[in-house]
């Protein structure tokens, strides 16, 4: 199974999904409240791959406990953005906490606008994902 970084770099969102725990929590750089659950986390990650242009990880920092920080660079709405994905894994190697931080402020605001414009679609995709998975486990 690929690492999260490898899956994102290959734009293999099915592999990303396989790395998310069912109880994963996504902590957005532009929203106050976290988003709990694999379905919404997956839908957000799928949408952000459409929003970011020229996305590349430039550095990876791993802690001995298995957590990772992945520094990235990209563009959003013509603005350069730098960010970091902080990944916390459970004992099964699944991502249980996914926190993102970005800078500078203008690019973060552009990211908020772009993701906000897609949020209804993101919620619908998360709902469909949850329904698909509950049907396949029944």
Q: Is residue 74 part of a domain?
A: yes
> CATH code at 110?
3.10.450.50
Q: Is residue 128 part of a domain?
A: no
Judged against a pLDDT cut of 90, whether residue 73 lies above it is answered with yes
Our count of domains for the chain comes to 1
Q: Is residue 127 part of a domain?
A: no
Degrees to nearest 5, angle at CA 32 with 31 and 36: 80
Domain that holds residue 35: 4-120
Q: Is residue 27 part of a domain?
A: yes
**Looking at the chain, which runs of residues are DSSP E strands?**
20-27, 35-36, 53-62, 68-76, 79-89, 95-103
Residue 136: the pLDDT is 52
Residue 137: the pLDDT is 47
Q: Is residue 129 part of a domain?
A: no
Q: Is residue 98 part of a domain?
A: yes
Residue 91: the pLDDT is 92
Q: Is residue 136 part of a domain?
A: no
Q: Is residue 134 part of a domain?
A: no
**What pTM, to 2 d.p., does this model score?**
0.90
- Tens-digit pLDDT profile for residues 21-53: 999 999 999 998 999 999 999 999 999 999 999
């Amino acid at each position: 199974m690929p690492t999260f970084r490898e899956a994102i770099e290959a734009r293999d969102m099915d592999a990303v999904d396989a790395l998310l725990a069912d109880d994963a929590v996504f902590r957005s750089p532009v929203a106050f409240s976290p988003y709990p659950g694999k379905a919404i986390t997956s839908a957000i990650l799928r949408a952000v791959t459409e929003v970011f242009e020229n996305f590349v990880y430039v550095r990876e920092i791993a802690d001995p406990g298995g957590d990772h920080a992945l520094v990235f660079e990209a563009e959003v709405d013509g603005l350069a953005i730098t960010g970091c994905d902080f990944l916390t894994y459970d004992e099964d190697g699944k991502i249980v906490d996914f926190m993102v931080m970005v800078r500078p402020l203008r690019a973060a605001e552009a990211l908020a606008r772009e993701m906000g414009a897609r949020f209804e679609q993101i919620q619908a995709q998360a709902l469909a994902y949850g329904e698909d998975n509950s049907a396949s486990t029944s």
